[in-house]
């Protein structure tokens, strides 16, 4: 039984930290409002020398180093982003060139905040199908570049960053490590609740993020609880079997509400939204890397990854580390 086994993780953040207090000087908001409604205290914002691909390259290098492998041995790069360096080519090809594994498969996937779940599911399927033996899966974003910095309802919520996982196709038997089950969904009926008001084929501009937060919140809790149940059923597991949940870090209240719906104790949920804000496709691998490096997530743990975002898209993966 071939599974995609985690060999190393890495993450990267821009140099510049922006506090809630600093944002309160630019728009009509306050530290207390942001903390009470979201749990966010600060976010990292890319400067002019940092881009989605530079963050992705740094995160990838750390994952490669943690795995103790040579970059040239990577056969597949899947990069999840909605804020690529260029409309084309894929940012994955920029990362590939910097790492020196030219010639391997490299492409981007775009599923907004669920992007990493889409990327890891696609990589898992390709590893299982024998199209590659070693994959680098990255979530990287510079959402600061598509925010309307005068819209207080959105600009306080997001930050920049990247996270990466290195996966190997291995056969370690039924009880071995690896991705046990994944589920993905999309529902294009809700485009107007979370979207960017520009693009190459419409306005020929990059556009700005627009969101009806309260509506998104409602759908997020419902969709996440249901996809987590599906993945647990597929893997034949119970909520009580889970050691850690690494959720998309959009809002502390969504994390709490989803955990409550599943009857999961909050101590099992990795929460980094306070420090990073919502980094879209980067948030799950970034939070995973933090909890892996500080020793919370250990070898043998059963970890649920989950996310919901624009599209709407949502998904979850259950991973034995
Ligand atoms: O990553 C993709 C998924 N995205 C999400 O999951 C985001 C989901 N949504 C949310 O996290 C929350 O809905 C928000 C944090 C965006 C908003 O929280 P809320 O409790 O749903 O607030 P609200 O939108 O209902 O706004 C409440 C009030 C409004 O004022 P009125 O109409 O009651 O007078 C807003 O205008 O808060 C006001 N408000 C603000 N006040 C101070 C909105 N943004 C701000 C702000 N500072 N930054």
Question: pLDDT per residue over 6-20, tens digit each?
Answer: 999 999 999 999 999
Residue whose CA is closest, atom 17 of ligand 1?
213
221/137 same-domain check: no
8/143 same-domain check: yes
8/154 same-domain check: yes
- The per-residue pLDDT string of the chain (321 residues; one tens digit each, 9 = 90 and over) reads 899 999 999 999 999 999 999 999 999 999 999 999 999 999 999 999 999 999 999 999 999 999 999 999 999 999 999 999 999 999 999 999 999 999 999 999 999 999 999 999 999 999 999 999 999 999 999 999 999 999 999 999 999 999 999 999 999 988 899 999 999 999 999 999 999 999 999 999 999 999 999 999 999 999 999 999 999 999 999 999 999 999 999 999 999 988 888 888 999 999 999 999 999 999 999 999 999 999 999 999 999 999 999 999 999 999 999
156/252 same-domain check: no
For residue 150, report the distance from its CA to the centre of ligand 1, in Å: 15
**Catalytic residue at 113?**
yes
**Catalytic residue at 20?**
no
Is 244 buried (19+), middle (13-18) or exposed (0-12) by CB count in 10 A? buried
- Write the DSSP string, 14-74: -SEEEEHHHHHTTSS--HHHHHHHH---EEEE--TT--HHHHHHHHHHHHHHHHT--GGG-
Is 274 buried (19+), middle (13-18) or exposed (0-12) by CB count in 10 A? middle
Domain-ending residue, one of 141, 171, 201: 171
Is the minimum distance from the CB of 229 to ligand 1 under 6 angstroms?
no
Query: Ligand 1 test: best mutation among 110, 156, 213, 287, most atoms within 8 Å of CB?
Result: 213
49/87 same-domain check: yes
pLDDT tens sequence across 37-73? 999 999 999 999 999 999 999 999 999 999 999 999 9
158/102 same-domain check: yes
**Catalytic residue at 104?**
no
For residue 39, report the distance from its CA to the centre of ligand 1, in Å: 12
- Collect all residues with Cβ–Cβ distance below 8 Å to 36 and sequence separation of at least 6: none
pLDDT at 301: 98
Is the minimum distance from the CB of 29 to ligand 1 under 6 angstroms?
yes
78/203 same-domain check: no
For residue 250, report the distance from its CA to the centre of ligand 1, in Å: 12
For residue 247, report the distance from its CA to the centre of ligand 1, in Å: 20
Atom of ligand 1 nearest to the CA of 38: 15
- Domain of residue 144, residue span: 2-171
Q: Which of 33, 66, 291 is nearest to 165 (CA)?
A: 66
Is 33 buried (19+), middle (13-18) or exposed (0-12) by CB count in 10 A? middle
User: What distance in Å separates the CA atoms of residue 59 and residue 77, rounded to the nearest whole number?
Assistant: 13
142/201 same-domain check: no
For residue 154, report the distance from its CA to the centre of ligand 1, in Å: 8
In this prediction the pTM is 0.97
Is the minimum distance from the CB of 38 to ligand 1 under 6 angstroms?
yes
Residue of 101, 248, 251, 276 with catalytic role:
248
Is the minimum distance from the CB of 213 to ligand 1 under 6 angstroms?
yes
Q: Which of 167, 187, 208, 209 is nearest to 308 (CA)?
A: 187
* Residue 300 belongs to domain with CATH number: 3.40.47.10
Q: Which of 218, 306, 228 is nearest to 254 (CA)?
A: 218
265/158 same-domain check: no
Residue of 101, 104, 113, 155 with catalytic role:
113
For residue 45, report the distance from its CA to the centre of ligand 1, in Å: 21
226/285 same-domain check: yes
110/139 same-domain check: yes
Name the domain count of the chain: 2
Classify 173 in phi/psi space as left (phi over 0), alpha (psi -120 to 50) or beta: left
pLDDT at 175: 85
Is the minimum distance from the CB of 247 to ligand 1 under 6 angstroms?
no
153/250 same-domain check: no
Domain-ending residue, one of 171, 191, 219: 171
Domain-ending residue, one of 146, 171, 196: 171
For residue 213, report the distance from its CA to the centre of ligand 1, in Å: 6
Number of neighbouring beta carbons within 10 Å of residue 182: 24
Atom of ligand 1 nearest to the CA of 156: 48
Is the minimum distance from the CB of 216 to ligand 1 under 6 angstroms?
yes
Tokens of 246: 């690494």
Is the minimum distance from the CB of 251 to ligand 1 under 6 angstroms?
yes
């Amino acid at each position: 039984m071939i599974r995609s086994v985690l060999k190393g993780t890495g993450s990267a953040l821009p140099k510049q930290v922006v506090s809630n207090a600093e944002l309160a000087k630019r728009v009509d908001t306050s530290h207390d409002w942001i903390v009470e409604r979201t749990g966010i205290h600060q976010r990292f914002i890319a400067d002019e020398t940092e881009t989605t691909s530079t963050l992705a390259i740094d995160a990838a290098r750390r994952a490669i180093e943690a795995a103790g492998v040579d970059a040239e041995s990577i056969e597949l790069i899947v990069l999840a982003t909605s804020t690529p360096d260029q409309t084309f080519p894929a940012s994955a090809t920029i990362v590939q060139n910097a790492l020196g594994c030219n010639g391997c498969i490299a492409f981007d996937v775009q599923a907004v905040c669920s992007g990493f779940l889409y990327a890891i599911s696609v990589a898992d399927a390709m590893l299982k199908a024998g199209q590659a033996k070693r994959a680098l899966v990255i979530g990287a974003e510079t959402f600061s570049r598509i925010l309307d910095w005068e819209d207080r309802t959105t600009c306080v919520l997001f930050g920049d960053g990247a996270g990466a996982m290195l996966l190997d196709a291995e056969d370690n038997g039924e009880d071995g490590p690896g991705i046990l089950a994944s589920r993905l969904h999309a529902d294009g009926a809700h485009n107007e609740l979370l979207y960017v008001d520009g693009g190459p084929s419409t306005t020929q501009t990059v556009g700005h993020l627009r969101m009806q937060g309260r509506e998104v919140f409602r759908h997020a809790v419902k969709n996440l609880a249901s996809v987590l149940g599906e993945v647990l059923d597929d893997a034949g597991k119970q909520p009580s079997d889970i050691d850690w949940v690494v959720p998309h870090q959009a809002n502390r209240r969504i994390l709490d509400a989803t955990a409550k719906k599943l009857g999961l104790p909050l101590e099992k949920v990795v929460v980094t939204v306070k420090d990073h804000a919502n980094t879209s496709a980067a948030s799950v691998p970034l939070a995973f890397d933090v909890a892996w490096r500080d020793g919370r997530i250990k070898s043998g743990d059963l970890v649920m990854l989950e996310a919901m975002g624009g599209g709407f898209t949502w998904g979850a993966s259950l991973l034995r580390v």
